[in-house]
Amino acid sequence: MRVQIIWEKKKIIFFTILIVFLILSVGCFFLFSSMATEEEEKKEYIKWVDFQVTEEVLEKTAKLDIVSHTTEEQIDMNWIELIAYLGAKYGGNFKNFKQKDLDSIVEKLQTGKTMVEIAQNMKLYSYYLEAYTAILKEFIGEYEIQVKKDDGTKVFEKKYGIKAFLPIAKNYGFSHYDDFGAARSYGYKRIHLGNDLMGAVGTPIIAVESGVVEAARLESIWRMENRNS
């Protein structure tokens, strides 16, 4: 009888240890899987890209995009895809731009090929596409603008083209300088990924992106902190 009781206790202890071991094993599996996933996401995340697209390339690709969407052309061009292709071809150095390279892409697109097919052997195409999309995606596209009809009524019409705008109201003065990428030391050392516009108090402005104003305080200037939605 005593031997049976001891055996029963040993079985209980054994199965308890086994259950705890299984729980810990499953927990560790999901923990390491989560860590591996996070590590993969960190590796895939683009932290920085040098934007060296020239004014010439921006103007020419933008025109191709807008004209293709506002005329009866059968193929719609995407200026960001065109720039990404050129970026992958030149390694991001647009000083090497040649008109024949852009013409070649356009000709292939007009024959019915997709950009995915054209750039399938370009290792860095997806990298530049993601990076340049993050920068340029809201610059060109469809938008609505209020127009006045002959009878005096106002209606909104859909348009396609450049929809980026100056956030400072018309006829109000401001100053700025090219400080994108400049070093910043306020709070901590970092690169400034913006362009500061300096205007007088009371200047009407409009937000260039949706978000929530979290703080507004007076330092050497009025500073507003905004969190994008």
pLDDT digits (tens, 9 = 90+) for 179-213: 777 887 777 777 776 778 888 888 888 877 677 77
Q: Are residues 181 and 216 in the same domain?
A: yes
Flag whether 116 is in a domain.
yes
Residue 65 lies in a domain: yes
pLDDT for residue 63:
95
Spell 18-37 as b/e; 16+ CB within 10 A means b. eeeeeeeeeeeeeeeeeeee
Let me know if residue 22 belongs to a domain: yes
Higher pLDDT, 45 or 196: 196
Do residues 134 and 90 both lie within one domain? yes
Overall domain count for the chain: 3
Domain that holds residue 219: 174-228
Distance of CA 122 to the CA centre of its chain: 21
Instruction: Find the length of the chain.
Output: 229
The answer as to whether 162 is a domain residue is: no
Co-location of 69 and 138 in the same domain: yes
Q: What is the pLDDT of residue 95?
A: 93
Residue 63 φ then ψ, to 5°: -65, -40
Would 153 be classed as within a structural domain? no
Task: State pLDDT tens for residues 149-167.
Answer: 889 899 999 999 998 888 8
- What is the token pair recorded at 87? 């970026």
Which is nearest to 168 in space by CA: 197, 139, 195? 197
How much is the pLDDT for 178?
Answer: 75
| pTM exceeds 0.75 for this model | no
Pairwise pLDDT comparison (142 vs 3), residue with the higher score: 142
Q: Residue 64 — pLDDT band, cuts 50, 70, 90?
A: very high
Residues 196 and 119 in one domain: no
Over pLDDT 90: what percentage of the chain?
A: 37
Assigned domain for 222 exists: yes
Enumerate helices (H) and strands (E) in the chain, giving the number of each: 6, 8
pLDDT of residue 22: 42
Q: What is the dihedral of CA 112, 113, 114, 117, to 10 degrees?
A: 170
Are residues 159 and 142 in contact, defined by beta-carbon separation less than 8 angstroms? yes
Q: Which helix (H) or strand (E) holds 141?
A: strand 140-148
Question: Residue 70 falls within a domain, yes or no?
Answer: yes
**What is the band of 12 on the pLDDT scale with cuts at 50, 70, 90?**
low
Residue 151 belongs to some domain of the structure: no
> Residues 210, 211, 217, 223: what is their CA dihedral angle, to the nearest 10 degrees?
-50
Considering the domain architecture, whether residues 41 and 14 belong to the same structural domain is answered as: yes
How is the chain split among helix, strand and coil, in percent rounded to 5?
45, 20, 35
